[in-house]
């Protein structure tokens, strides 16, 4: 199903031909994100993502936008803590144009001084937009609290102070060190002729070979130590945003799929225990959910609740009760069966379009160095049993590694934090 190739310069290619669609989705995946930064250049990965749209030797910023807009396609990018992705979706008749455009952005971006100064202002506004979102503030504060002393604590956007100090020389040097063939995967899915597509990719990407600073790339050896902390940020909001985070699993851990199955049962769906109890039965929150996050060497399991500040103790007590019930009684066989069916359905339905399939195989190749056939994923889900769930529950629900974050309009902070400690750690 998937065709894996390597270009002459070492860039990994993963392709899938779907002859019955009219589109192609192309993604350029770079193994570089805020985890590769420090406090001095924090935000530079996301900054570079923006700058690749600002003009090349062959196209202005407007021409980059128009080249895809004019054919009804999509062009965008995003940066995470561990990787950056540039992607396009177009009719398959415009395959060459999409490949040409993304390769041009990767190889020939100018990083003009004027564009750098203007784009800083744009990102300042993006940072302010996130600062207006209490949920985003809460997640950044959770990362800062749980990953203190490592680069995972750094916000993806950076800070206004860190961005102010970044200049053109910093950007070009960082780009050369991190945007190298060994860190790049190109994924393409849709109505393609794989042999012809490979020739196009070789022609447009095969000469991208920045090796000058390859050996200078800094790989951080980070030590993740989890303790129990309570941290908060007072903000004038109607609702309190509450996060409870604990140590999870790294993405290559053998118990990733058991954790995903358990999460569906605990708080990852509308039929989950947390949702049904806190929202449906008690009416204490509109938004309540849990989710795992997987990184290369660590991971987290997080519970989020948006609630009335006056209900914080009641909600935290209910969350603790559900955790203790899960530890003592685990789950039922019926819950296990339903969760596995739900997980398989969500996964397979998510592969119904070229964009999703492109993202699935590109991200998998970049982060796992392997592309999994859907049948392999389904098999992993089917194999989850009660013993796996028991191991996962014991691993993640450790109150000595439980961190609580609140953001909102909360009075008597010290009194609240003292009470939360009594509820969670006693």
Catalytic sites, residue numbers: 49
Cβ count near 220 (within 10 Å): 11
Structure-token pair, residue 68: 């895809």
Whose structure tokens read 């790049």?
184
- Structure-derived torsion over alpha carbons of residues 62, 66, 68, 69, reported in degrees to the nearest 10: 120
- State the Cα–Cα distance between residues 183 and 16, nearest whole angstrom: 21
- Give the single-character DSSP code of 275: I
What sign results for the dihedral spanned by CA atoms 272, 363, 140, 402?
positive
Report the SS3 class of residue 305: strand
Structure-token pair, residue 198: 């490979």
Please name which of 24, 366, 361, 422 lies closest in space to residue 182, comparing C-alpha atoms: 366
- State the Cα–Cα distance between residues 279 and 426, nearest whole angstrom: 26
- State the Cα–Cα distance between residues 312 and 242, nearest whole angstrom: 8
- State the Cα–Cα distance between residues 379 and 395, nearest whole angstrom: 23
Query: Is the separation of the CB atoms in 28 and 85 below 8 Å?
Result: yes
Q: How far is CA 252 from the centre of its chain?
A: 15
Cβ count near 281 (within 10 Å): 10
Query: Is the separation of the CB atoms in 371 and 362 below 8 Å?
Result: no
- State the Cα–Cα distance between residues 426 and 422, nearest whole angstrom: 5
Structure-token pair, residue 96: 């060459």
């Amino acid at each position: 199903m998937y065709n894996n190739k390597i270009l002459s310069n070492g860039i990994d290619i993963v392709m899938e031909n779907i002859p019955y669609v009219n589109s192609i989705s192309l993604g350029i995946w770079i193994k570089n994100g805020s985890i590769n930064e420090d406090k001095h250049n924090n935000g530079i990965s996301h900054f570079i993502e923006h700058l690749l749209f600002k003009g090349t030797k062959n196209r202005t910023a407007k021409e980059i936008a128009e080249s895809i807009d004019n054919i009804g396609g999509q062009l965008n990018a995003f940066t995470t803590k561990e990787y950056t992705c540039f992607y396009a979706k177009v009719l398959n008749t415009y395959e060459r144009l999409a490949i040409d455009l993304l390769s041009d952005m990767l190889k020939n971006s100018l990083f003009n001084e004027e564009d750098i100064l203007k784009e800083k202002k744009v990102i300042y506004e993006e940072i302010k937009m996130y600062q207006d979102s209490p949920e985003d503030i809460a997640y950044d504060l959770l990362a800062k609290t749980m990953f203190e002393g490592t680069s995972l604590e750094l916000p993806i956007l950076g800070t206004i102070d860190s961005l102010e100090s970044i200049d053109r020389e910093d950007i070009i040097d960082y780009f050369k060190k991190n945007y190298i063939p060994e860190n790049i995967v190109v994924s393409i899915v849709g109505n393609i002729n794989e042999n012809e597509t490979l020739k196009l990719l070789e022609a447009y990407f095969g000469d991208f070979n920045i090796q000058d600073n390859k050996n200078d790339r800094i790989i951080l050896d980070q030590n993740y130590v989890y303790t129990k902390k309570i941290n908060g940020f007072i903000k004038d909001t109607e609702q309190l945003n509450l996060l409870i985070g604990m140590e999870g699993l790294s993405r290559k851990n053998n118990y990733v799929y058991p954790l995903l199955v358990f999460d569906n049962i605990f708080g990852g769906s509308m039929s989950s225990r947390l949702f049904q109890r806190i929202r449906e039965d008690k009416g204490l929150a509109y938004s309540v959910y849990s989710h795992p996050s997987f990184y290369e060497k660590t991971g987290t399991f997080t519970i989020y609740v948006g609630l009335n500040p006056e209900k914080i103790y009641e909600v935290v007590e209910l969350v603790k009760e559900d955790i203790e019930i899960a530890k003592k009684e685990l789950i039922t066989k019926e819950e296990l069966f339903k969760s596995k069916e739900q997980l398989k359905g969500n996964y397979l339905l998510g592969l119904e379009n070229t964009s999703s399939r492109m993202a699935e195989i590109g991200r998998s190749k970049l982060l796992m160095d392997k592309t999994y056939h859907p049948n392999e994923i389904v098999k992993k889900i089917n194999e989850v049993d009660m013993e796996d769930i028991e191991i996962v529950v014991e691993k993640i629900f450790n109150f000595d590694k439980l961190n609580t974050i609140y953001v909102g309009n909360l009075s008597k902070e010290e009194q609240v934090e003292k009470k939360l400690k009594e509820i969670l750690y006693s």
